[in-house]
């Protein structure tokens, strides 16, 4: 039987050996681009009123640049460029798109553009600020305020899971203010996780890197991986997407709070649907955190979306201790033995 330490090592989000660089605007990982990936715009390239300085990150869906505007102020620019639909070679500005992929590429571009338009209407301190969005080079760009700080993922890794309860309540209560604003515009984030929660230097959180446009492409039959992050995505995001709603982001929020305690995500929802090995937070950390907080995390991580908080406001009231979470008891011999073993292994 594996020790809890071995379990964490196998499933750890935070690689201690080879540190993964963080980018606050793109899935939390700064990746080196393989030869078949899209090539970025060159350093010094003039993109309308912005001068490209460097690549912050690159993934299968987009490229994020550090750039400077006419007033020499830094901004982050996200370029829609899904590598499964388009290819840009070194030195080119325009991507090459095969005829069979043109319709899908344009559909995704339209979704990306509309998402940028919706986010630009939001002006909330806990949501990434979209300053501009425009079409150029046969694709779409989203200009965002450049933030200074580090991701919650980096914070968890630095603290090695030793996160204080007051910090968790403070960060997530503020973050949920932003998420409420997002939901009020009929948008869902669909990719909440520690890598997409940015902690500014002043300690305030900001929600970044929305996954809605990627999800829309997936629904249209184009798989742009990762469409979701295992461990943080609820079961309805794998299947039955017609069931998605505010409770979908709430599951991911609960998984992010779980990661603050464990240093790792909970068991992936698709695996839980097959054989649920999730050990409740109330069993794993009894006596280390308040029972109210632990029950809140378990409440958010219910597989049945109807058993989770149904609105961000409902969850906020619990985090602010204005009400108690709804508790759905699950007592099994396997769960009790497993929880006891993990707790002993951590000593």
CATH for 24-145, options being 2.40.170.20, 3.30.200.20, 3.30.70.3040, 3.40.50.300: 3.30.200.20
| pTM, rounded to two decimals | 0.79
Compute the distance between CA of residue 126 and CA of residue 186 in angstroms, rounded to an integer.
Answer: 17
Q: How confident is the model at residue 118 (pLDDT cuts 50, 70, 90)?
A: confident
Compute the distance between CA of residue 77 and CA of residue 253 in angstroms, rounded to an integer.
Answer: 26
Give bridge partners of residue 191 from the DSSP assignment: none
User: For residue 33, what pLDDT is reported?
Assistant: 40
Residue 246, Cβ density class (10 Å: 0-12 exposed, 13-18 middle, ≥19 buried): buried
Range ranked top by mean pLDDT from 118-122, 185-189, 201-205? 201-205
The tokens of 139 are what?
């694709």
Same fold, 24-145 and 163-193+229-345: no
Compute the distance between CA of residue 181 and CA of residue 130 in angstroms, rounded to an integer.
Answer: 14
φ, ψ for residue 189, nearest 5 deg:
-80, -55
Residue 183 and residue 165 in contact, taking contact as beta carbons nearer than 8 Å = no
Element (H, E) at 205: strand 205-207
User: For residue 6, what pLDDT is reported?
Assistant: 31
Compute the distance between CA of residue 281 and CA of residue 91 in angstroms, rounded to an integer.
Answer: 51
Residue 172 has pLDDT above 80, yes or no: yes
Within 141-245, where are the H helices?
152-159, 165-184, 212-219, 235-238
Residue 213 has pLDDT above 70, yes or no: no
Greatest Cα-to-Cα distance within the chain, rounded to the nearest angstrom: 64
**Minimum mean pLDDT range among 13-22, 92-101, 179-188:** 13-22
Question: Based on C-alpha coordinates, what's the Rg of the chain?
Answer: 20
Opening angle at CA 88, ends 84 and 93, nearest 5: 140
Compute the distance between CA of residue 115 and CA of residue 256 in angstroms, rounded to an integer.
Answer: 24
φ, ψ for residue 331, nearest 5 deg:
-115, 110
Residue with tokens 């830094």: 74
User: For residue 329, what pLDDT is reported?
Assistant: 66
Per the prediction, the chain carries an average pLDDT of: 83
Residue 243 and residue 305 in contact, taking contact as beta carbons nearer than 8 Å = yes
**Minimum mean pLDDT range among 197-201, 224-228, 253-257:** 224-228
- The CATH number of 163-193+229-345 is 1.10.510.10
Domain boundary assignment for the chain? 24-145, 163-193+229-345
The tokens of 69 are what?
């505007």
Compute the distance between CA of residue 281 and CA of residue 294 in angstroms, rounded to an integer.
Answer: 5
Q: How confident is the model at residue 220 (pLDDT cuts 50, 70, 90)?
A: low
The tokens of 220 are what?
């249209």
In terms of Cα–Cα distance, which of 46, 66, 69, 68 is closest to 58?
Answer: 66
Q: Greater confidence, 337 or 112?
A: 112
């Amino acid at each position: 039987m594996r020790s809890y330490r071995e379990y964490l090592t196998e499933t750890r989000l935070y690689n201690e050996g080879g540190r993964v660089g963080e980018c606050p605007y793109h899935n939390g990982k700064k990746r080196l681009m393989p030869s078949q990936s899209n090539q970025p715009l060159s350093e010094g390239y003039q993109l309308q009123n912005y001068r490209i300085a460097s690549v912050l990150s690159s993934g299968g869906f987009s490229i994020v640049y550090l750039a400077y505007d006419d007033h020499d102020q830094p901004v982050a620019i996200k370029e829609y460029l899904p590598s499964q639909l388009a290819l840009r070679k070194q030195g080119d500005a325009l991507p090459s798109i095969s005829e069979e992929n043109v319709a899908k590429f344009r559909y995704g571009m339209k979704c990306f553009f509309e998402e940028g338009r919706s986010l630009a209407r939001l002006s909330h301190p806990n949501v990434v600020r979209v300053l501009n969005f425009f079409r150029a080079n046969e694709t779409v760009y989203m200009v965002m305020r450049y933030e200074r700080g580090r991701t919650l993922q980096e914070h968890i890794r630095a603290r090695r899971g030793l996160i204080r309860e007051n910090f968790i309540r403070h960060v997530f209560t503020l973050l949920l203010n932003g998420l409420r604003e997002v939901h009020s515009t009929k948008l869902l984030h669909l990719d909440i996780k520690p890598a997409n929660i940015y902690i500014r230097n002043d300690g305030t959180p900001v929600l970044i890197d929305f996954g809605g446009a990627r999800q829309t492409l997936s629904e249209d039959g184009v798989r742009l991986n990762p469409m979701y992050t295992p461990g943080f995505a609820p079961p309805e995001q794998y299947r039955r997407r017609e069931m998605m709603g505010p409770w979908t982001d709430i599951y991911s929020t609960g998984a992010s709070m779980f990661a603050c305690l464990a240093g790792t995500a909970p068991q992936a929802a698709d695996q839980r649907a097959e054989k649920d090995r999730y050990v409740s937070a109330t069993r794993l950390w009894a006596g280390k955190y308040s029972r109210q907080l632990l029950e809140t995390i378990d409440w958010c991580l219910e597989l049945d979306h109807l058993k989770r908080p149904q609105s961000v406001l409902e969850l906020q009231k619990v985090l602010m201790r204005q009400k108690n979470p709804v508790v759905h008891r699950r007592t099994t011999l396997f769960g009790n033995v497993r929880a006891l073993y993990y707790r002993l292994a951590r000593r």
